[in-house]
Amino acid sequence: MDSSFEDPEPEASEPEADFEPLRAPPRASSFLVLGGGGEPASNEIALEKNVLYFQRTLQSLGLAPESASIYFANGTDGKATVRYRAGGRGARDSFKSLEIPHLKGAATLEHFLEWLEDSARNAPERPVFLYFTGHGGMNGNNLNNNHLALWDSDTLTVRAFGLFLGQLPSTTPVVTMMSQCYSGSFANFIYQDANPQRPVVAQPRCGFFATVEYLPSVGCTPEVDESDYRDYSSSFFAGLAGVSRTGSAVASADHDGDGRVSYAEAHAFAKVDGETTDLPISTSEAWLQRRVRGADMRAFLSKPILEVSRTGRPEQRHVVESLVRRLHFVAERSWLDNVQAVELETAEREADAMRLRMELLNIGMEHKVRASGSAPALAVLERLLQCERGSWESPSAPALTSPLSSSQKHDK
């Protein structure tokens, strides 16, 4: 496990940016889902079931599933493109047609652009929540500009994604939740040209991602048993709505006690709910971690965990406390001392240790930025955090909607 404290770059400075503060956490009322594989071989049933769980999550929060625009794989042409495996060990892969209610069409670049054009024309001020459940690719020459895979060999890079979102008004908040491999690269959509050396864009943007830009994520499987699924989006939506993908209640993620679960709180829930090798990250966390230098690592990883976590927000302290318990660490000792004293026997435990390391750096760097008094840095930080405190716009009284019918659950 890398614990290098080298200082390869000078202290980060914030490029001047021209943007308005975000006055309140955005409540998303415009929903877009893009998903599926780029071809039948990579169009696993788990991805289809992720969309169905997303629709159930809408219902759990009193929202109509048909309110979301959903574009998935080959869309409505009826072809059998969903790969699944049923029958236990040794079973062969089979293919079936899509069974997603309210599906609008294929997950193509053309349909994404049409949705943006329609939104800009008919609902320009409605805050956007965009969920991507599919596959991603790594750009070996520039990890700041990875891509996601769309149907029929279409791809969408971070840079193009950011540019296309510019069709919406500069005042329209956009929140993304992405679960593909190498998805952390999309945290760079907050910058002009997806370049962290450039200023942030005027449009309020933030996002939550299954893992960092240089690692694959888990969750794409042709197996049909949903109770075995372990992936970031499953945990994120469980935290957001308080209901797991199998219908059971989960512990409340409302750590600040304000009566609603924010995106940031759902993200924190996912960090400790999903025992996987993923390293979840948000836009504010990526922004903070980019500023970390060797001296910061020495400071935050060599101090007692309790001391560093004391300045964290409620959901951050929950992550630290939960991971400390799971790892059998001693909170009165430093992260470095604990790592040297405790054997991390599995890849999942190693990931837990890295998640804890990241959380301590997030907390420490946020405290450092606030103490610095840098107006440009504080302006960016506050807008990112305000965006990440957003949630879905729920009706004042929960809608009395019935659960999806058994024919809509699609458990093959």
388 vs 396 pLDDT, higher one: 388
User: Which domains does the chain carry?
Assistant: 29-250 (3.40.50)
Who has greater pLDDT, 94 or 275?
A: 94
pLDDT over 50 at 297, yes or no:
yes
Task: Give the mean pLDDT of 374-398.
Answer: 88
Least confident residue range of 205-219, 234-248, 362-376, 392-406: 392-406
Q: Spell out the SS3 assignment of 264-291.
A: HHHHHHHHHHCCCCCCCEEHHHHHHHHC
Specify the DSSP class assigned to residue 91.
P
Please state, for a pLDDT cut of 90, what percent of the chain lies above it: 86
- pLDDT band (50, 70, 90) for residue 403: very low
E strands of 57-117, at which residues? 68-72, 80-85, 93-97, 103-105
Over 50: is that where the pLDDT of 412 sits? no
What is the reported pLDDT for 45?
97
Average pLDDT over residues 242-246: 95
**Which of the four pLDDT bands, split at 50, 70 and 90, describes residue 12?**
low
> E strands of 155-221, at which residues?
155-157, 174-178, 205-209
| Residue-level pLDDT at 17 | 72
In this prediction, residue 356 has a pLDDT band, given cuts at 50, 70 and 90, of very high
Supply the mean pLDDT for the chain.
92
CA atoms of 336 and 177, how far apart (whole Å): 31
Cβ(281)–Cβ(184) under 8 Å? yes
